[in-house]
Amino acid sequence: MLLSKLLAAELRRLAGDAAAVAALPATGEGARTLELAAAPGRPALRLELFDLDRFSVSLRRISVAGGPAPAAEPSPDARDARLDALAGAVIGRLSYLEEPLAVVEADAREGQAQLRSSPPLRDEGVVSYWEATVSVGQEAAISLARYHWAPEMVEREPLPYPVAAPQLGRLADSLAAALASIPPAR
């Protein structure tokens, strides 16, 4: 079953039950954490969200993880190929975001890459952008969040992103499809 269908059912259930939402684990930022466990052929999904209602959420972060763990430590070339494939799949699958993603940093030895909006959205000195972290360690994983920064800020800050439930499902399915498209660990 697609993640979007499972997610839609879970969001509908939670939207009608304030006590269930309040019982979800909270992050240090106050976001609620919703997790859907992995199942055969389907990765695990983790959402950090604010302001859940029947139609939308304010998304803090969406993450998917899954895939078979390597039987042995993959060669550097194999890990590099998987990392390139996963980063490319994320860029291709999320082409509908406001700004296109591009790799800004990759470390094949660690099996991780960082992707960001390129170019970011600039509005009166405020910079907003998507950031995705992809990894191909024990299991492949992707995490996506929105950030903003302004010259008067010491550091960037997470930017809760309002998203309707169907679009959130599309994000989940896109990330799951990116995971499914990479070559198996060898």
Taking the domains of the chain in order of start, what are their residue ranges? 3-180
Going from the C-alpha of 1 to that of each of 19, 38, 59, 88, the distances in angstroms are 27, 11, 23, 24
3-state secondary structure of 58: strand
pLDDT tens, residue by residue, 136-180? 987 899 999 999 999 999 999 999 999 999 999 999 999 999 999
Question: What are the structure tokens assigned to 138, written together?
Answer: 């024990």
Does residue 51 carry a pLDDT above 80? yes
pLDDT, average across residues 104-118? 93
- Burial class of residue 100, CB neighbours in 10 A (0-12, 13-18, 19+): middle
Could you tell me the pLDDT band of residue 69, with boundaries at 50, 70 and 90?
A: low
